Structure 1
């Protein structure tokens, strides 16, 4: 029997075995009033999403049938395993380009990529740019995201979607 270690933080709870997540994990978020709520429940042994807390309705560019794409609201949007909190942790690794800082460039860069029916990422492209090296940095960060996505679903079937990831560049106020 291998030793398991419980990880219980503000945002996640589950067991680790040899440094890998195992069994069912819960991922948490907080309501505006500060109430702790379960955002996702994921079974790492079965590689299966057990529960997700519905958020706002999201319209995605979705492959509704082979080769036919349309903007629709999937029954289940694509989900980053660990919730938006974990996704934000990865995107916080952006490095503000010195050229952009020197030119006081701030704003939002939007990177689009496809999440296929298996949760794999591809076709990265810039949808909204601000320059100064920020666009390249946003694209670099998007390309380093781990492939821990649960694909979108229409009914019982997984569907490919084009996902738009906004990344904000803000200079610290003196």
Structure 2
């Protein structure tokens, strides 16, 4: 009797596996290749293991699971150096539980509890440590203040860096003129964690401003809004984009 009971979950698992197959999709515009587990009866239903690769290097960008076309269970995202950038769980396409983000050295940078909407741990970047004042935006008024908590990108700096690198191109005009330097892009971090009102606050020219704006706009993900005097506020954040030639 015990032997028969043991076989039931094994047979059920084997049957479920037999109902799926793998397909590969290539997106040349996004420069990715997807290996997707789908139902044999309907290839439009993603069910099971999913892996996304860089089309050029064939390195893994992310991996996880789908259940009826929705992200489910544990997911892992990797940076350009194939180190773990962030990991956590999904249920019905929504993040659940505690998510962890890591810096480029592989050290823990951030932990956020999506069930309780609370920041558990955060190690600020060098840029955030040295930036003391931010533009506080209230209606039509802008005031320079020192924040109680600076705006935080919940996917971590490593994921942000990979998103920028995937889009950023060195403009041919700047390359031919041997132009190097830094563009600073400013944008609002809103109360709901979205970003808007992108602008160049420090220009380099020669096509670099446009490339920097495009790269910053390519960063997807939610921000934790800033806190000032014990309340969440809208502020203008800044990110630098460096252009350096290799000789």
Fold shared, TM-score > 0.5 on shorter chain: yes
**TM-score (normalizing by structure 2):** 0.58
Equivalent residue number for residue 98 of structure 2: 24
The answer (yes or no) to whether the contact 2:178–2:245 under 8 Å persists in 1 is: yes
Establish whether residue 7 from structure 1 lines up as the match of residue 80 from structure 2.
no
Equivalent residue number for residue 109 of structure 2: 39
Q: Which residue of 141, 144, 155 maps to 1:71? A: 144
More helix by share: 2
Q: How large is the Cα RMSD of the aligned pairs? A: 2.7
Distance 1:107 1:57, change over 3 A: closer
Q: What is the DSSP-based 3-state SS (H/G/I as helix, E as strand, rest coil) of the residue aligned with 2:212?
A: helix
Listed as ranges, the matches of 1:43-122 within 5 Å are 43-54=113-124, 56=129, 58=131, 59-63=133-137, 67-93=140-166, 94-122=168-196
The answer (yes or no) to whether the contact 2:74–2:87 under 8 Å persists in 1 is: no
Deviation at 1:10, TM superposition (A): 3.5
Distance 1:105 1:145, change over 3 A: same
Q: Give the gaps of 5 or more residues in structure 1.
A: none
Deviation at 1:66, TM superposition (A): 5.1
Q: Give the gaps of 5 or more residues in structure 2.
A: 1-66, 78-82
Q: Which has the larger radius of gyration?
A: 2
The answer (yes or no) to whether the contact 1:121–1:147 under 8 Å persists in 2 is: no
Q: Would you say how many aligned residue pairs link Structure 1 and Structure 2?
A: 167
**TM-score (normalizing by structure 1):** 0.80
Pick 1 or 2: higher relative contact order, CA cutoff 8 A, min separation 6: 1
Establish whether residue 136 from structure 1 lines up as the match of residue 226 from structure 2.
no
Alpha-carbon distance between aligned partners in 1 of 2:224 and 2:215, rounded to the nearest angstrom? 19
The answer (yes or no) to whether the contact 1:5–1:17 under 8 Å persists in 2 is: no
